[in-house]
């Protein structure tokens, strides 16, 4: 089991606040924050529906913000906190941006690319490997997502 710090908890709590913001907008509730030297340097939430952009995942938004702010496409010595295990697209972006550490809450058995379905992050074929830790607030993340999709199915059923 991972030994998460009080700072890890604080940053994951912020990621959850962002996930709830996404949910209020009708987006899948996933939030992310990128931290460097103990400070949040970028934050975001899923918005592919609102943006009409399939790449508007929380992780991609955060990486883009941080790279622009730092004037560098590489983000070493950073930690990404996200409420759900990144997909293949996002995991690839983490590797390319040289993020040092990933902390995610819930595993994604369907599309998770950090060990659940695929393992893009830790492949020995890469010249950069991201340190991965998971399970911080996993139950809360799973419940948030499960409740969201239950409501969505119910709303769809009521429309028909």
Longest dimension (CA), the chain: 51
Which residues are within 8 A (CB) of 75 and not within 5 positions of it... i.e. 6 or more apart?
34, 36, 63, 66, 67, 97, 98, 99
Query: Which of 23, 43, 59, 85 is labelled catalytic?
Result: 59
> Is 17 considered catalytic here?
no
Q: Rounded CA gap, 138 and 135, in Å?
A: 5
Closest CA to 32 of 21, 49, 18: 18
- Residues marked active site are found at 59
């Amino acid at each position: 089991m991972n030994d998460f710090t009080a700072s890890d908890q604080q940053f994951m709590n912020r990621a959850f606040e962002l996930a709830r913001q996404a949910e209020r907008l009708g987006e899948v509730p996933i939030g992310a924050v990128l931290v460097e030297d103990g400070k949040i340097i970028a934050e975001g939430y899923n918005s592919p529906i609102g943006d009409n952009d399939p790449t508007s995942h929380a992780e991609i938004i955060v990486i883009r913000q941080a790279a622009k702010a730092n004037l560098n496409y590489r983000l070493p010595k950073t930690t990404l906190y996200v409420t759900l295990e990144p997909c293949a697209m996002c995991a690839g972006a983490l590797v390319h941006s040289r993020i040092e550490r990933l902390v995610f809450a819930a595993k994604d058995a369907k599309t998770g690319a950090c060990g659940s379905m695929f393992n893009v992050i830790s492949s020995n074929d890469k010249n950069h490997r991201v340190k991965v830790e998971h399970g911080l607030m996993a139950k809360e993340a799973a419940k948030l997502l499960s409740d969201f999709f239950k409501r969505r199915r119910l709303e769809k059923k009521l429309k028909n």
